[in-house]
Amino acid sequence: MAYQDTFELQTRGRGTTEITSRVAQVVAASGIATGVAHVYVQHTSCSLMITENADPDVLKDLETLARRWAPDGDPAYRHDAEGDDDMSAHGRSILTGTSVSVPVGNGKLLIGTWQGICLWEHRTHAHTRTIVVTVTG
Amino acid sequence: MAYQDTFELQTRGRGTTEITSRVAQVVAASGIATGVAHVYVQHTSCSLMITENADPDVLKDLETLARRWAPDGDPAYRHDAEGDDDMSAHGRSILTGTSVSVPVGNGKLLIGTWQGICLWEHRTHAHTRTIVVTVTG
Amino acid sequence: MAYQDTFELQTRGRGTTEITSRVAQVVAASGIATGVAHVYVQHTSCSLMITENADPDVLKDLETLARRWAPDGDPAYRHDAEGDDDMSAHGRSILTGTSVSVPVGNGKLLIGTWQGICLWEHRTHAHTRTIVVTVTG
């Protein structure tokens, strides 16, 4: 059994947007009691991750680390057609990935107390991002 | 069809604990012949990964790399409420992620000969970690 | 419901091979309309990722970044039995991981316009890699 829903999210440039409650709505609508909720983003310059959602400083520090993992405008890059944040966005994207998945039990997301599902926009400008949630069980 | 089991693991501080056989037990109990085993950890300062499980030096070398990817006590961090290993643990956690999944075929985990499923504790002190295994098929 | 197929891929040493159309064939053969396609590689020195597949320079730049994330022949490594690319391959492998998964809707892979599923060989020499695709729904 599988249930699927797609939604769009408007980002405001580089940074994170928590989507846990939006994913939980799809799980509730699915009527599936036991299974897995799969969340997928159809882009290569943003990504999805699960991280601490209590202290906003964690998200700022993750940006600090990501700037080191894949610096903007690195002179070694060949791919820079869309600017200094183009290749760095692809580099950041593959490190956390285009999907996350969370178990579903008793019809609810079995996410940890301090965990949040976040869309991480890696481009500096605002973008519209399409997210597909599929619940299987 | 889906089958789910939850267990706790006591870590001894930073380092890895292989849980492949524990996950294989859940797959056997599920009675599912073909599908996917999804393993999830409900925390943001440890992670799950699949890596070589034959030579313990690989795990030591992965610690060496992780210390570079997200150093302890970096002066750039703002989030340090729980000590020098607090933010570094969150940074390490997002790089390998909170879940791994392995195909199931003929009722068994189709894991490679040299692969092991590992919980990677990123905090320096011991913690109790909750792991949810869901088999869908 | 689940459908599974396994295939081998011959790599030509370090670099990427796109396998999106091969995965799409398994999805078509599955007859599953709504669900998730899970792609898994049974090795620890290559990995799977979803990234931009239009400009080959992106893949070259990802190699540039990966060389920094896990350098070949680093003097800090203890595990070097198979050469300078042995431990670096394990380090690269855990960063992008052994599986990717893509939603299936209307019987097709719901992959983004610019996304491709790639096997990323991290060893410098050619290898035969086994990939398991499981569609659940």
- Confidence at A69, pLDDT banded by 50, 70, 90: very high
Q: Which residues pair with C129 in a beta bridge?
A: C9
Measured between alpha carbons, how far is residue C105 from residues A119, B40, B52, C52, C122 in Å?
21, 25, 35, 21, 32
**Best residue of C48, C49, C55, C101 to probe chain A, by most A CBs closer than 10 Å:** C101
Report the interhelical angle of A86-96 vs A56-69 (nearest 10°). Answer: 120
CATH number of A2-136: 2.60.120.460
Measured between alpha carbons, how far is residue A10 from residues A89, A112, A121, A128, B22 in Å?
17, 26, 10, 4, 41
Tokens representing B20 are 């492949």
Alpha-carbon span C64 to C18, nearest angstrom: 19
Using alpha carbons, select from C113, C110, C102, C112 the residue that is nearest to residue C136.
C102
Give the count of beta carbons closer than 10 Å to the beta carbon of residue A2: 23
Measured between alpha carbons, how far is residue C26 from residues A100, B102, B123, C132 in Å?
22, 17, 41, 10
pLDDT of residue A59: 97
pLDDT of residue A9: 98
- Confidence at A95, pLDDT banded by 50, 70, 90: very high
Residue B112, helix vs strand vs coil: coil
Q: Which of C58, C60, C103 sits opposite A38 (nearest CB)?
A: C103
Residue B21, helix vs strand vs coil: helix
pLDDT of residue B52: 95
Residue C88, helix vs strand vs coil: helix
Q: Which residue of C has its CA nearest to B36?
A: C134
- Check CB contact under 8 Å for C4 and B58: no
A83 touches A4 (CB < 8 A): no
- Check CB contact under 8 Å for C2 and B137: yes
pLDDT of residue C22: 98
A135 secondary structure, DSSP code: E
The series of mean pLDDT values per 10 residues for chain B, 137 residues long, is 97 98 98 98 98 95 98 97 96 98 98 98 98 98
- Confidence at A91, pLDDT banded by 50, 70, 90: very high
Structure confidence by residue, pLDDT tens digits, C91-131: 999 999 999 999 999 999 999 999 999 999 999 999 999 99
pLDDT of residue A53: 92
Instruction: Please provide the average confidence, as pLDDT, over all residues in chain A.
Output: 98
Taking the CA of residue B83 and the nearest CA in chain C, the distance in Å comes to: 25
Q: What is the mean pLDDT of residues A20-34?
A: 98
pLDDT of residue C68: 98
Tokens representing C113 are 């316009």
Using alpha carbons, select from B46, B40, B41, B55 the residue that is nearest to residue B12.
B46
Maximum separation of any 2 CA atoms in chain C, in Å: 51
pLDDT of residue C45: 98
- Check CB contact under 8 Å for C97 and B100: yes
In this structure, chain B runs to a length of: 137
Using alpha carbons, select from A82, B49, A67 the residue that is nearest to residue C52.
A82
A125 touches A35 (CB < 8 A): no
Q: What is the mean pLDDT of residues A111-127?
A: 98
How many Å separate Cα A59 from the centre of its chain?
13
- Check CB contact under 8 Å for C99 and B100: yes
Which residues of C touch chain A, with CB atoms under 8 Å apart? 32, 34-36, 49-52, 55, 57-58, 60-62, 64-65, 69, 95-97, 100-105, 110-115, 136-137
pLDDT of residue C88: 98
Alpha-carbon span C69 to C66, nearest angstrom: 5
C127 touches B89 (CB < 8 A): no
Say which CATH topology domain C20-136 has: Jelly Rolls (2.60.120)
Contacts of C60 in chain A (CB under 8 A): 78-79
SS (H, E, C) B46-82: EEEEEEECCCHHHHHHHHHHHHHHCCCCCCCCCCCCC
ipTM of the complex: 0.97
Alpha-carbon span A77 to C61, nearest angstrom: 6
- Check CB contact under 8 Å for A136 and B2: yes
Using alpha carbons, select from C79, C97, C99 the residue that is nearest to residue C88.
C79
Structure confidence by residue, pLDDT tens digits, C5-57: 999 999 999 999 999 999 999 999 999 999 999 999 999 999 999 999 999 99
pLDDT of residue C48: 98
pLDDT of residue B15: 97
pLDDT of residue C12: 97
Taking the CA of residue B16 and the nearest CA in chain A, the distance in Å comes to: 20
Q: Which amino acid is at C86?
A: D
Contacts of A42 in chain C (CB under 8 A): 110-113, 115
Using alpha carbons, select from A43, A40, A30 the residue that is nearest to residue A117.
A40
pLDDT of residue C131: 98
Alpha-carbon span A130 to A116, nearest angstrom: 18
Alpha-carbon span C40 to C32, nearest angstrom: 19
| B29 backbone dihedrals φ, ψ, rounded to 5° | -65, -25
Using alpha carbons, select from C14, C10, C34 the residue that is nearest to residue C121.
C14
Alpha-carbon span B31 to B106, nearest angstrom: 10
- Check CB contact under 8 Å for B51 and C79: no
Which residues of B touch chain C, with CB atoms under 8 Å apart? 32, 34-36, 49-52, 55, 57-58, 60-62, 64-65, 69, 95-97, 100-105, 110-115, 136-137
- Check CB contact under 8 Å for B103 and C134: yes
Work out the end-to-end distance of chain B between its first and last CA atoms, rounded to an integer number of angstroms: 6
DSSP of A22-33, one letter per residue? HHHHHHHHHT-S
Q: Which of B51, B62, B112 sits opposite C42 (nearest CB)?
A: B112
pLDDT of residue A122: 98
